[in-house]
C-alpha cells in the first residue's frame, strides 16, 4: 500500500506553520518539516529505545546548527552522566556553544537549602521560568514525565497534569516530554497524557527474528500537521540519526 494512504489530514488550512526540525534524516520529511513551534510532544518508548538520546539530539542539533536556545532538564540521571553518555555517541556539548543548557533538578533540589519544602513541581516551574527569563530558550526537554509524576506526588493526577500541560504552553516554548511505555501499543500514559499532548512520537524495539531486534520510530499524532503514521527503522551512527525502511523477516 502506498504511504499516502497512511497520512493524516490535520494540517492548518491558512498560513504557514513554523516548525522545529528533529534532525532525524527522513523523519522531518514525513511531517511537513518538523514539529510545529509551540507544540507539547510526548516522546514515548520502551526501555532501551534511546528516548533520551533522540530528545537530546533534537535539542543539540537545533542549538549547534541554528543557534536555537534549548533547556534539557534531567531527572533520571546526573548532568555529568547525561553529557558523558551523549558524547559517547558523538554529541559533544561544547559544539552547541551556549545555546544548550542542561539542568539536573535533583541536584538543585538537594543542594539549595533555601528552597525549603518546595515540591519538585514547584522547583521545576521556578527554574524553568527563571531560565526562560534569563536564557531565553524556546525549546524545552523534560526527562522524564513519569519521574516527575512520581516525585510530585500528584493528588489528582488528571487534573494536575492538565494544569501542568497548560503551564508549559504558557511558557511559549516547544516542549518534548519523555515518557516510558511498556508492551501495550496503545498506552502512552495512565492519566490521559496522550490526549493532553499535541503530538506523540513513539520509539519501539521490534523483534525481526530470533537474533535481531530493531529500533523503530513512528509519528502517532502531530497537530497542525499532515504526517505519515508508518513505522520506520531508526538508525544511529556516529551522532547521526536517520530513518530507513523496516527490516522484515
Instruction: Output the pLDDT for position 114.
Output: 61
- pLDDT confidence band for 239 (50 / 70 / 90): confident
Instruction: Output the pLDDT for position 10.
Output: 37
pTM value is 0.91
pLDDT digit string (tens) for 123-136?
899 999 999 999 99
Q: Are 244 and 26 in contact (CB under 8 A)?
A: yes
Q: Are 6 and 228 in contact (CB under 8 A)?
A: yes
Q: Are 70 and 39 in contact (CB under 8 A)?
A: no
Instruction: Output the pLDDT for position 1.
Output: 37
Rounded CA separation 77/81 (Å) = 6
pLDDT above 50 for 245: yes
Q: Are 44 and 104 in contact (CB under 8 A)?
A: no
- Rounded to a whole number of angstroms, the distance between the first and last alpha carbons of the chain is 18
Looking at residues 89-93, what average pLDDT do you find? 95
pLDDT above 70 for 13: no
Rounded CA separation 178/40 (Å) = 11
Higher pLDDT, 120 or 27: 27
Q: Which residue has cell 491558512?
A: 14
Domains of the chain: 3-244 (3.40.50.300)
pLDDT digit string (tens) for 23-41?
999 999 999 999 999 999 9
Instruction: Output the pLDDT for position 3.
Output: 46
Query: What angle is formed at CA 45 by the lines to CA 43 and CA 50, rounded to 5 degrees?
Result: 85
H/E/C letters for each residue in the chain? Answer: CCHHHHCCCCECCCCCCCEECCCEECCHHHHCCCEECCCEEEEEECCCCCHHHHHHHHHHHHHHHHCCCEEEEECCCCHHHHHHHHHHCCCCHHHHCCCEEEEEHHHHHHHCHHHCCCCHHHHHHHHHHHHHHHHCCCEEEEECHHHHHHHHCCCCHHHHHHHHHHHHHHHCCEEEEEEECCCCCCCCCCCCHHHHCCEEEEEEEEECCCCCEEEEEEEEEECECCCCCCCEEEEEECCEEEEECCCCC
pLDDT above 80 for 96: yes
Looking at residues 94-109, what average pLDDT do you find? 92
180, three cell numbers: 516510558
Amino acid at each position: 500500500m502506498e504511504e499516502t494512504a497512511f497520512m493524516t489530514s490535520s494540517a492548518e488550512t491558512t498560513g504557514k506553520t513554523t516548525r522545529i526540525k528533529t534532525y532525524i534524516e527522513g523523519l522531518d520529511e514525513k511531517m511537513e518539516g518538523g514539529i510545529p513551534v509551540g507544540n507539547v510532544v510526548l516522546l514515548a518508548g520502551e526501555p532501551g529505545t534511546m528516548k533520551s538520546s533522540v530528545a537530546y539530539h533534537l535539542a543539540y542539533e537545533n542549538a549547534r546548527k541554528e543557534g536555537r536556545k534549548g533547556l534539557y532538564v534531567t531527572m533520571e540521571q546526573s548532568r555529568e552522566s547525561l553529557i558523558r553518555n551523549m558524547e559517547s555517541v558523538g554529541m559533544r556539548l561544547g559544539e552547541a556553544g551556549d545555546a544548550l543548557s542542561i539542568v539536573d533538578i535533583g541536584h538543585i533540589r538537594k543542594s539549595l537549602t533555601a528552597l525549603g519544602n518546595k515540591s519538585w513541581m514547584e522547583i521545576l516551574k521556578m527554574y524553568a521560568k527563571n531560565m526562560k527569563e534569563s536564557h531565553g530558550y524556546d525549546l524545552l526537554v523534560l526527562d522524564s514525565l513519569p519521574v516527575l509524576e512520581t516525585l510530585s506526588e500528584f493528588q489528582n493526577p488528571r487534573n494536575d497534569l492538565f494544569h501542568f500541560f497548560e503551564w508549559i504552553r504558557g511558557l511559549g516554548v516547544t516542549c518534548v516530554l519523555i515518557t516510558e511505555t511498556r508492551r501495550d501499543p496503545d498506552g502512552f500514559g495512565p492519566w490521559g497524557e496522550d490526549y493532553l499532548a499535541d503530538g506523540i512520537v513513539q520509539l519501539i524495539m521490534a523483534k525481526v527474528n530470533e537474533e535481531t531486534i530493531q529500533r523503530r520510530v513512528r509519528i502517532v499524532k502531530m497537530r497542525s500537521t499532515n504526517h505519515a503514521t508508518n513505522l520506520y527503522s531508526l538508525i544511529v551512527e556516529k551522532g547521526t540519526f536517520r530513518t530507513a525502511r523496516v527490516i522484515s523477516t
